[in-house]
Amino acid sequence: AIQMTQSPSSLSASVGDRVTITCRASQAIRSDLGWYQQKPGKAPNLLIYGTSTLQSGVPSRFSGSGSGTEFTLTISSLQPEDFATYYCLQDYNYPRTFGQGTTVEVK
């Protein structure tokens, strides 16, 4: 199975900060990478698919980049509703695998 490794596992930030989360795949996965946001007690929510395409309704402060084995999720100006845990997910092959998550906390 492809291993997805996220870094950092957590970070502290303030409203208005630029936040960057990295996801590395154990083998090349083309651009078959999505990002999900999860808030406590809720199901994950799709933010980005195909590495960089925003899901409908997702604010433009979210962006994704990368290819092959290294991918990045960036929040350009952190908003109060963005404090959550973020997961990458590869859809290159089965089994689908998630990263272990990055929790964005209030500084």
Partner 1 sequence: EVQLVESGGGLALPGGSLRLSCVVSGFSFSNYWMAWVRQAPGQGPEWVANIKGDGSKESYLDSVKGRFTISRDNAKNSLYLELNSLRAEDTAVYYCARDANYQDNRIYYDVYDIWGPGTKVTVS
In the complex, the residues that contact partner 1 under the rule CB under 8 A are 1, 31-32, 34, 36, 38, 42-46, 49-50, 53, 55, 87, 89, 91, 94-101
Residue with Cβ nearer partner 1 (23 or 78): 23
Q: Do β-strands 85-90 and 102-106 pair in parallel, antiparallel, or remain unpaired? A: antiparallel
Residues 6+ apart with CB under 8 A from 97: 1, 2, 3, 4, 89, 90
Least separation in angstroms between residue 5's CB and partner 1 is: 11
Least separation in angstroms between residue 59's CB and partner 1 is: 17
Least separation in angstroms between residue 82's CB and partner 1 is: 18
Using CA atoms, how far apart are residues 54 and 56, in angstroms rounded to an integer? Answer: 6
